[in-house]
Structure 1
Amino acid sequence: MTDTEKNQDQAQPLVSHLTELRDRLLRCVLAILVVFFSLFYFANDIYYFVSEPLRVLLPEGTSMIATEVASPFLTPFKLTLVASLILAMPIILYQVWGFIAPGMYRSEKRIAIPLLASSIVLFYAGLAFAYYVVFPLIFGFFSGVGPEGVAYTPDIARFLDIVLKLFFAFGVAFEIPIATILLIWAGITTPETLSEKRPYIVVGCFVFGMLLTPPDIISQALLALPMWLLFEFGVFFGRFIHPREDEKTT
């Protein structure tokens, strides 16, 4: 076999992988677009639902405002696009799994599938926690601390920026058990080591809570405390996980 033929044989698997990657990326984009166009007609209703925790706390006779010309259209549009990405997440993760699964051992698949399913559930749980628990508390705080004579009329675009930031922060924070278990399974650390570093973890949770939330102590604490509890949750279940190098792959 000539060098040219060897190079062609080596290039074929790479080309096939790139082709598969392209196809799966296109399926992800198509899934997002399908969900988006299905939801776009209800864009204003979606914004109405998301903004309800704030609207119910507004003083009587006041409402949210739009300070930019295009905000009444662009703000619900942006929210619908983000909602489409979130709702299409199971399909996106399925495509990711389909791409990487052929290169995994059977023992790796046995733990990867439950972790993948759990990551989706935990991400949605983080969003629900933010909406039903965090939003009423922090918006109640914001609406009640203003000085006398100042009308509290939040801008719809600024409100959406805060909401998306909180959704992202809590969605990612609720993935901590998955990240903890993966670190233990990969042999990078152990439950005992993580337990010894608990004081640093707690401080780190509050630092991340400060960086990922609006500058108020309520939202920071509401993010930091669940992060710490989820870390403990991951350490507990990590004790039942055997490190990857100790497993026999088939």
Structure 2
Amino acid sequence: MFNEESFQGLWGHVEELRKTLLRMLIIILAGFLIVLLFYQSIFSLLSPQNSNESNLSNQQSNLTKQLLQRERVVNSSNKSIFFTLPDGAHIIETETNVPHGGHHNFEIKPRNYIVYEIPVNTTKLLILSPLEGFVLTLKICFWIGFAITSPIWGFLILKFVMPGLRKREKCVIVPFSIASFFAVLIGFSLAYFFTLPFANQYLAAFNSDIGMNAWSLANYYDYTLILFMGHIIAFEICVVLMFLVHFRFLSAEWLKEKRRYMIVFAFVLGALLTPPDVLTQLILALPLVVIYEFAIFYAKIRSKTSDASQYHVRVDC
């Protein structure tokens, strides 16, 4: 039976939990609204780059083919008009000499025309329903706002649980929380700067030999989120591994015995989360193997620390 004092103490913890959850929701909502203001820039950063070049057959692997679009601009007025040539375009035909009016600007005289060619963006994203763009914008902005504000609401969680932890647990939970945050940054950066560009380039080139690349906006960003989450989870697993090593749930000997399985797992994970080319698989697999080797080294240090404690050497953390 709970007495009145213990009941009040329990209710106090529940009330503090309610306040913590409310603050977390407000912070996540604020992050979502701030990110929503910059949704166009975010979509520009995450969109696939124009990739309209692809290799020919294996016998002609040093040759590439490029899809070009030809456009004709006619001045139907009675006065000269300056026309700005799109980036990447070049003039291939004119009715008369077209004088330059500046960088990429050309003067088209009355009843004259110019014809130019421009590379076609073969990876332009398509919106397949009226609500697809709106719903996807809310979804992407929510997850980015959730991730960006994670240090703040993560601190609120630590602030709530810290009073119930022992001193030894406190001196461990903070460093591993920081390590978890950096694992998110490393996983995201690796996916954004390396895996995603290589994946888009490889898949666009592979698909161009089968058909035309007409990627759906929703499908592309779902695939991008899965790619990011896969990389983040992979590095978070490494943090959990270090956490288990620190508390001696895993020994250096056990990790050495399972090393071959870990290497196979790292490359299988790399194959599942990246396109089927060796380079992108190595980009994800090699860091995981290096972290596993570091975990073995750290386990040896913890083992020596454990041996030192037997000789009355005090180790707080």
In which range does the TM-score fall when normalised by the shorter chain? 0.7 to 0.9
The equivalent position to 1:175 in structure 2, one of 236, 250, 271, is 236
Matches within 5 A, 1:67-146: 67-146=128-207
Deviation at 1:182, TM superposition (A): 1.1
TM-score, normalised via structure 2 length: 0.68
3-state SS of paired residue (1:56): coil
Change (3 A) 1:149 1:182: closer
The residue aligned with 2:8 is 12
**Counterpart residue identity of residue 57, structure 1:** S
Mapped to 1, the partners of 2:254 and 2:232 lie a distance apart of: 26
Q: Using the alignment, how far apart are the partners of 1:164 and 1:149 within structure 2?
A: 25
User: Helix, strand or coil for the counterpart of 1:189?
Assistant: coil
Q: Secondary structure at the match of 2:128?
A: coil
With the length of structure 1 as denominator, give the TM-score of the two structures.
0.85
Higher strand share: 2
CA contact (8 A) 1:28 1:95 kept: yes
RMSD over aligned Cα atoms: 2.5
**CA offsets per residue over residues 128-181 of structure 1, 9 Å max, x none?**
110001011111110111244722121111110011011111112122332122
Q: Does 1:61 align with 2:120?
A: yes
Q: Any conservation in 1 of the 2:199–2:274 contact (CA below 8 Å)? A: no
Structure 1: gaps (5+ residues): none
State the one-letter code of the partner of 2:5: D
The 1:107/1:10 distance shift into structure 2, 3 A limit, reads same
Say which one has the larger Rg: 2
Q: Verify the 8 A CA contact 2:274 2:281 in the aligned structure 1.
A: yes
**Residues 236 and 72 of structure 1: CA distance in aligned 2, closer, same or farther (over 3 Å):** same
What amino acid is the match of 2:228? F
Structure 1 residue aligned with 2:20: 24
Q: Distance in 2 between matches of 1:121 and 1:249?
A: 24
Does structure 2 retain, via aligned residues, the 8 Å contact 1:181–1:235?
A: no
Within 1, Cα distance between the matches of 2:178 and 2:210? 50
Answer whether contact 1:180 1:238 (CA < 8 A) is retained: no
Report SS of the residue matched to 1:188. Answer: coil
3-state secondary structure, aligned to 1:152: coil
C-alpha distance in 2 between matches for 1:7 and 1:207: 55
Letter in 2 for 1:68: S
1:157 aligns with 2:218: yes
Matched-pair identity in %: 25
Which residue pairs with 2:113 in the alignment? none
Structure 2 runs not aligned, ≥5 long: 54-118
CA distance in 1 between counterparts of 2:138 and 2:271 reads 29
8 Å CA contact 2:180–2:236 kept in 1: the answer is yes
1:194 equivalent to 2:188? Answer no
Equivalents in 2 of 1:113, 1:238: separation in Å?
A: 20
Range moving further from structure 2, 152-161 or 56-65: 56-65
The CA deviation string for residues 36-67 of structure 1, in whole angstroms up to 9 with x for no partner, is 1112121122111111xx22325632322112
Contact 1:210 1:220 in 2 (8 A): yes
SS in 2 for 1:240: helix
1:227 has 2:288 as partner = yes
Instruction: Using the TM superposition, name which of 164-173 and 7-16 deviates more.
Output: 7-16
Q: Deviations over 1:181-234 (max 9, x none)?
A: 2112222111221122101122233444455x2674555554333322222233
Q: Is the 8 A contact 2:32 2:141 kept in 1?
A: yes
Whether the 8 Å contact between 2:238 and 2:288 is mirrored in structure 1 is no
Aligned length: 241
Report the AA paired with residue 128 of structure 1.
Answer: S
Report the equivalent of 2:39. 43
SS of 1:97 mapped into structure 2? helix
- Compared CA separation, residues 149 and 107, structure 1 to 2 (3 A): closer
> Which residue identity lines up with residue 16 of structure 1 in the other structure?
G
